[in-house]
A and B are shown apart, each in its own frame.
Chain A
Amino acid sequence: MTDMKYLFEPQSIAVIGASLDTSKIGYKVLENIILGGYRGKVYPINPRSGEMLGHPAFKDLEDVNAAIDLACIVIPARFVFDAVRKCAKKRVKTALIITSGFSEVGNITEEKKITAYAREHGVRILGPNIFGVYSAKASLNATFGTRDVIAGNVAIITQSGALGASMIGKTAVENIGLSAMVSVGNKADIDESELLDYLITHDQTKIILIYVEGVKEGERLIKALNETTKKKPVVVIKSGRSAKGAIAAASHTGSLAGADEVFDALVRQYGVLRAEDIRDAFDWCKFLSNNPMPKGEHTVIITNGGGIGVMTADACEKYGVKLYDDLPALNGIFSGVVPDFGSTKNPIDLTGQATTAEFDGALDVALHNDNIDAVITLLSEVAVFDSENMPELIKKYYPQYKEKGKPILFSCLGGDKVQNCINSYHGSGHPVYGGAYESVSCLGAMYRYYNYLANRSEEIALADIPKKAIEEIVRKAREDKRHFLLAHEAQAIMKAAGIPAPQSRVARTLDEAVQYSGEIGYPVVMKIASKDIIHKSDAGGVALDLENSNEVIDAYQAIMQSCRTYNPSAKIEGVDVLEMARPGTELIIGARRDKIFGPIVMFGLGGIYVEVMKDISFRAFPLNHHEITNMIKEVRSYPLLLGVRGEKKKDIDGIMDTIIKLGTIIKRCEAISDIEINPLVAYEEGEGVKALDVRILLLKGER
């Protein structure tokens, strides 16, 4: 038995802190376990012993003369450590610490002490600060939430106990059947990643819904999500979208990579469906768990109202649902069932004169046509429409479509009869909705997952980089007690990795600056070379487009004087003399070791306004060419790369190559925390790219 199996399918449970006081959580948990239909052994633990809800209670865990798989701890925080110690002695496999009052209120030491002890003695901990666990397979409801849980195929993992308890109630109202529900609370030991690893192969679970507030070990979570979404859809609700402080970071990548932006990009990368709120999440779960995955992307809208048809087409555009647009084929399919004054273009308009009989005809041909993969049915209550027959129509076609492997959705708009029809299907699992956007949002979520599965690739894009040479440059910087590389060192890394960069040399005197400028060829750029001056432009340490020796001489004086004034104690090594690159499209490519999610890469429109425009995208590892293409296409400025106003297409292969190389460096060279090229100038297709300014930061502390 794996650790998680003891959590979801325990043979025996002890409730430490079981109570007969109905106002206590210790009573509610015991009551839910016993009356919820749990078939294993139950041992209430209470100092007063006696009998509790028909089960003999024990004064102490040690008094139980049998093996215990799961212990629910519902006693005050100050007694929890002692209880865990007893669990260890009793060889309890998993302890559910429902009790709160630990790290969530600053009591971190106690939580760490409990976790360390449990880990040392082989007891797994769920929580603390949770509302419990529900497992349909074991008919186990070890929570203090409602007992009216419907068994089904949706598993919910929630970080919030209170929200979890209310979600259990909501699932009952919505008639969403649960296979499991786990509250992870403070995640002292068991977290979402481990639960996902278990749920991947959990036969009863078809779809997983996760509510996350904060991510602790993002890299592990991403890996688990990646594995899970290969097999089943995952819907995530994460709060804290706006929790981004104005933190000054040493790199743009750092300041742009707010926790939520990165989380959002990464979950999308791995096919996770992120919902804005619980309503969307529940709608998607219900739809995905009750409907077949489509075989293709040809969606057809069948309507009896032109306006609602157009509105639904707009919703399809918004949610990425592709409408079948082969007009001759559509005409061939529907001309027999659409009146002459209707339309066989998609939306298929049966006109306001259509009754359920006309819908019946249209749904029947759509059902049997293999070129149609999904159908959105819009039923508007116009004068001649026989609303009373709507339920029959839905009842007839939903199972047939399901059997055929085609999703079908019904959006119904009208008065009492229509509303009654919607209400009658509420909670039934039938895809019947009141609004067009509501229904298309569900189909959109399904297609996002469909496309993810269709395009996912096991390829891992890594470049061949000279790790030793890069580490040698890093080592020298560390010897100099620096946490960043000087420009010429960063350029050397670009050269070693094969990322094109302008020619450059460090001039220590004016004579050398003039000499090197001549050798490199005018025009040139000069930048101060000093470990003590990071913000070169702010210090007046940059001069561009120097076209002759006189301009080099003036610029050299200006740079030296300005930088000495800016930081009189700065150790100035000289000036970097660089080839002035010809103009192109300025991009930013960054790679950083995110504290939560590990190595990530960033791509976007570069230049000085990067933080204002925020036209960027992120990806995590493993990277592949498909995902890199997606991340490039994702930015709003993507058309610039395709060429606008008569410009030619830019060298997208060169950009991809640079992203892969930067990603490989950050992945393989652990001493580097951030690399940023801004700008990376992209030239026309076939002419490559050039890294004009490179900033490399090192991890603090020895590596």
Chain B
Amino acid sequence: MSAEVAMKRNLGRIYALQAKTEFLKVWRLPMYAIPTLAFPLMFYLLFAVATNRGTGQAATYLLATYGAFGVMNAALFGFGVGIAVERGQGWMLFQRATPMPPLAHLFGKLVMATLFGALIVLILSAAAVTLAGVRMPVGTWLALAGTLVSGAIPFAAFGLAVGYWAGPNSAPAVVNLISMPVSLASGLWFPLQMLPSVIRKVAPFLPPYHYGQLALGRLGLGEDVPALYSVAFLAAFTVLSLLLAWIGYRRDEGKTFG
């Protein structure tokens, strides 16, 4: 009977609706949508367009790093703050009482973060082409965009962990406190060569550094780090984050008091 009943649900429709719901939910939330979309563009206009008029190289470089910064933040905030807030509301508890497929919720959030990531890459690329005169072959741009957008995965996983460990009110602060300094130290705001040597020594231990290097590598502007090593580093970071999220989830389950 269970198989028969389960068959009658349209799983594809559940996943599609879950994704639509997650997207609409944050799209209508100015607190999320505006900073997520506007900050990377603002930084890019300020540092790539306004100060580097005419030098295509810097504007190309910063397209990769601010793209990485934007996608990373969309995933960190979407997951970290989103999960923490929904836990606080009891929405997650309610969803667990329904027959929602267990991964549908995470799938929906991942689609949402990926869509925001893609939107950020498109906006930045449009600014790069029209305002900073950046030119590159379509194939190169597609490779860059693909690398940038898939960066949503490791940071979504880390956001998930933050969401299960932080409270609904502290989550935005926690995400900001981690994201800001780490982005800077990983060379996502300014090229690493411009930063003090202490930071340059720390950077290779930070996940966003490897993410940034993978994106820059698509443009031939990366440092001397093997791409495979960066991918492995980010994969390990993803697994570790998921593990941390799982422990947080179990801890949450045991704590729920009634």
Real complex partners, A and B?
Answer: no
